[in-house]
Structure 1
């Protein structure tokens, strides 16, 4: 299966999770590419007009994993804008994950996942699974659990 991992990452935390996912999925026999969503210039949490340096084309993938950090208790504006601009996810199997710094409930993880799911479903994608990685002391366990969970989806 051809799997694309599409990641927006500023601090490399979200990207490092993508690398772990890629390793596990390749070992399972899949072809996996990590592609970055990158912006031209700084993106503030309330940004609406976002210019992209790189917007990955997802049409060649059977399945897609989207990864993004949480910003200001929501999905990062760059990932939100990217997902809004994708023309179609019809017939694509989708998984989504977010990374966040605060380990407490109500700090945006569920909100960001909900936003990702809604955007993907509005484009015709089928959500196979979601996950949240808290970037604190237990992140190794969170990453391992996410990798195991997602490796069973595809």
Structure 2
């Protein structure tokens, strides 16, 4: 299966999760590309007008994984804008994950995942898995758990 991992990452944390997931999915026999969403400048929380330097085309993939950080208790505006501009995710299996620094439930992880799912489903995609990585004490264990769970979805 051809799988695209599409990430928006500023600090590199979200991208590092994507790299580890790519290794596992490739070991399982899949063709896996990581593609980065990049913006044409700073994107502040609440931004509506996002300009992109790179908007990965997802149509050639059988399945997709979208990854993004949480910004200001919500999905990063760059990832939200990127997902909104995708024309169709019809018949694609999709998994979504977010990374965040604060460990409390009310700090946006669930809200960000919910927004990702809603946008993907509105484009015809089938969301088969989600996860939230909190960048704290046992982050390596959390990443391994995400990789274990996501590697059997496709």
Residue 51 of structure 1 and its aligned partner are, at CA, apart by 0.3
The number of aligned residues is 154
Residue 71 of structure 1 and its aligned partner are, at CA, apart by 0.3
**TM-score normalised per structure 2:** 0.99
Q: Give the whole-Å Cα distance in 2 for the aligned partners of 1:28 and 1:3.
A: 12
SS of equivalent residue, structure 1 residue 46: coil
> What are the within-5 Å matches in structure 2 for residues 16-31 of structure 1?
16-31=16-31
**TM-score normalised per structure 1:** 0.99
**Which position in structure 2 is the counterpart of 1:117?**
117
**Which position in structure 1 is the counterpart of 2:6?**
6
Structure 2: give runs of 5+ residues left out of the alignment. Answer: none
Structure 1: give runs of 5+ residues left out of the alignment. Answer: none
Root mean square deviation, CA, Å: 0.4
Runs of 4+ in structure 1 off by over 2 angstroms are none
Q: Give the whole-Å Cα distance in 1 for the aligned partners of 2:94 and 2:148.
A: 16
Residue 5 of structure 1 and its aligned partner are, at CA, apart by 0.0
SS of equivalent residue, structure 2 residue 65: strand
Residue 6 of structure 1 and its aligned partner are, at CA, apart by 0.2
